[in-house]
Amino acid sequence: MIVAKTSQMAANFDRGETVALSLSYHNKSVIRFISSVITKILARNNLIYLQDTIITILREIIVNAVKANSKRLFFRFQNLDMLDEEQYTLGMKNFKDFIIQNQEFIEDELKKSDLRVLVYLKKFESGFSIHVQNNSPIHPDELKRIKMRIQKAKVYNDFSEVYCDVSDDNEGEGLGLVLTILFLKNTGIGANSFQVSSNGKVTQASIAVPFQLKPAKVMNKIQQQILDEVRDLPTFPENIIELEKLCSNPEVDYRIIADRISMDPSLSVSVLKLSNSAAFITRRRIETINEAINIIGLKNLQAIIIASSARSILDERYSSFRQVWDHCNKTAFYARQLALTFGREKIAQNVYMAGLLHDLGKIVLLSTSSALSEWMMTLVSNRKMRSSTVIEEVSIGISHSSIGEQIARKWNLPEYLVQAIQWHHAPLGCAEEYRDVVYITYLANKMCSIEDKKFDYYYLEEDALDRFGLNSEREFMALHSNLRMKYLEHNEPKY
Ligand SMILES: [Fe+2]
Ligand SMILES: [Fe+2]
């Protein structure tokens, strides 16, 4: 239900309709629902790397809005007037303890009351805006204080400055605001995109997110550097291109291919390694290139040759990122299994290959921006971000899917592969004829992210689940755990 509803909302948003959500309390299921809508909206607009940032900021704003409503509720219970200076001070003395000690009670009472938090999402030509409203008046002094904090926060450059300054803030609300501003600044969304206003009845906090982020100057340089890197990447070696052609000829003599591969020791090693990887579940270890061809077939071999060459070009140039490739291997395994499960045997080797290479943009991204890693690490540890890649992308303003797409085009990789690399986080954007390949790569990759707790079933696009008849969370989970087990069983390296 949630998957369908949030996909529908994201679609409405894309058509330019205002999406409105109403809530009384920020419990887990409410936050999950909102995160799901936001994730889908961002993915569809190639901004998936803003997921963590926007969800963190939005959650912060919603929590504050609910808190403002709780405050109003509390003042009603106490028969105090919020707008009266003396009564306000009196009420605030006990309010903090009240919300800490009575969370469940507050949740129930808010539900029964007329106090609501409304979230509006609206798309316009150059970006979109999020408005969070609560129907409690804000004390003019408090609004003034918030505005002053926002002003002050714009001056900070990094978190260390913040900690020195905010530690004397006894209300504790300051920190959330300052971090929000700092995040907006560092992501290139811009500190001015955050506004708080009140008309005496309703208080509103808004963020405007442009589709084209303006990275800070230093980030702009890095973006250029990445594009230069992609331009300077070597093309595929001649012998690989020839080998690939040979593999597409069904009449070919296997021995010619085996000989050619054997002439290139590093290619032989990686072909054997990948042939013995979990994807093919062979009964015994493949020892020679001849066996590899016989057991996994020419089509799979062709995929392996391309994937091996792509990887070795990147590994030679940059430090090897085992984690990324390990993740890709697992995605490839899942993708192949999914194709077989969904009766899409014909594209099994295509999705396998897409899995192997879908994150190749990440390698270039991670390598090029490593000069920044220290600064990134500060951000990561302070905000408990789950991965630094996200922040790097956020700061640089270019996604690893876009980088990957450019590399794939440069290497003249087949169109289905280019599409899978480009759309693996936003599958709805792909061309119609590649939908099966892209959707399966997407699902396989997301299964890995779910295992790493970076993604949630509820964030999945309904269309991708529907296409393969996955109608419920239970069905999806059963399939996922089945694949996971298979992967673990066969993942002991045989070579
Ligand atoms: Fe990815
Ligand atoms: Fe991935």
Structural domains present in the chain: 2-210 (no CATH), 217-490 (1.10.3210.10)
What is the distance in A from the centroid of ligand 2 to the CA of 433?
22
460 φ/ψ angles, rounded to the nearest 5 degrees: -70, 145
Looking at all shown ligands, the one closest to residue 327's CA atom is: 2
Highest mean pLDDT pick, 82-91, 328-337, 447-456: 328-337
Whether residue 397 is predicted with pLDDT greater than 50 in this model: the reply is yes
pLDDT recorded at residue 387: 45
Distance 451 CA to ligand 1 centre (A): 14
Q: Which residues surround ligand 2, an ion (CB under 5 A)?
A: 359, 445
Query: Which pLDDT band holds residue 481 (cuts at 50, 70, 90)?
Result: very high
Distance 60 CA to ligand 1 centre (A): 27
* Residue 263 binned pLDDT confidence (cut-offs 50, 70, 90): confident
Residue 354 reports pLDDT greater than 90:
yes
Q: Where does the pLDDT of residue 280 fall: very low under 50, low under 70, confident under 90, or very high at 90 and above?
A: low
* For range 249-276, the mean pLDDT: 84
CA 328 / ligand 1 centre spacing (Å): 9
Expressed in angstroms and rounded, the spacing between residue 409 Cα and the centre of ligand 1 is 17
Residue with tokens 């789950």: 386
Mean pLDDT value of segment 184-207 = 86
Q: How far is the CA of 443 from the centre of ligand 2 (A)?
A: 10
**Ligand 1 centroid vs 372 CA: distance in angstroms?**
21
The Å distance, Cα 358 to ligand 2 centre, comes to: 6
- Output the CA 363–ligand 2 centroid distance in Å: 11
Distance 381 CA to ligand 2 centre (A): 22
From the CA of 208, how far away is ligand 1's center (Å)? 26
121, 13 Cβ separation under 8 angstroms: yes
Please give the distance, rounded to the nearest whole angstrom, from the Cα atom of residue 327 to the centre of ligand 2. Answer: 7
Q: What does the chain come to in residues?
A: 495
pLDDT surpasses 80 at 415: yes
Max avg pLDDT among 44-53, 113-122, 141-150, 242-251 = 113-122
CA of 48 to the centre of ligand 2 (A): 12
Q: Is 386 exposed, middle or buried (0-12, 13-18, 19+ CB in 10 A)?
A: middle
Ligand nearest to C-alpha 401: 1
pLDDT > 70 fraction of the chain, expressed in percent and rounded: 86
Instruction: Report the C-alpha gap between 355 and 336 in whole angstroms.
Output: 8
How high does pLDDT run on average in the chain? Answer: 83
Does 165 score more than 60 pLDDT?
no
d(CA 359, CA 393): 13
Q: How crowded is residue 460: how many other Cβ atoms within 10 Å of its Cβ?
A: 26
155 Cβ neighbours under 8 A, 6+ residues apart: none
The ligand that comes nearest to the alpha carbon of residue 361 is: 1
Are the beta carbons of 30 and 58 closer than 8 angstroms?
A: no
In sign, the C-alpha dihedral spanning 343, 346, 348, 350 is: negative
Helix ranges (H only) for 172-216 are 173-187
Q: CB neighbours of 244 closer than 8 A, spacing ≥ 6? A: 302, 305, 306
Instruction: Phi first, then psi: give them for residue 167, nearest 5 degrees.
Output: -60, -20
More confident residue, 414 or 438: 438
From ligand 2's centre to the CA of 18, what distance in Å? 31
Q: Measure the CA–CA gap between 180 and 168, rounded to whole angstroms.
A: 18
Placement of tokens 């021995």 in the chain: 255
Tell me the CA–centroid distance for residue 75 and ligand 2, in Å: 50
* CA 425 to centroid of ligand 2, rounded, Å: 8
Q: Does residue 302 carry a pLDDT above 90?
A: no
Which pLDDT tens digit goes with each residue over 229-251? 888 888 888 888 888 888 888 88
Which pLDDT does position 157 carry in this prediction? 62
User: What distance in angstroms lies between residue 290's CA and the mean position of ligand 2's atoms?
Assistant: 31
Weakest mean pLDDT among 85-94, 279-288, 303-312, 388-397? 388-397
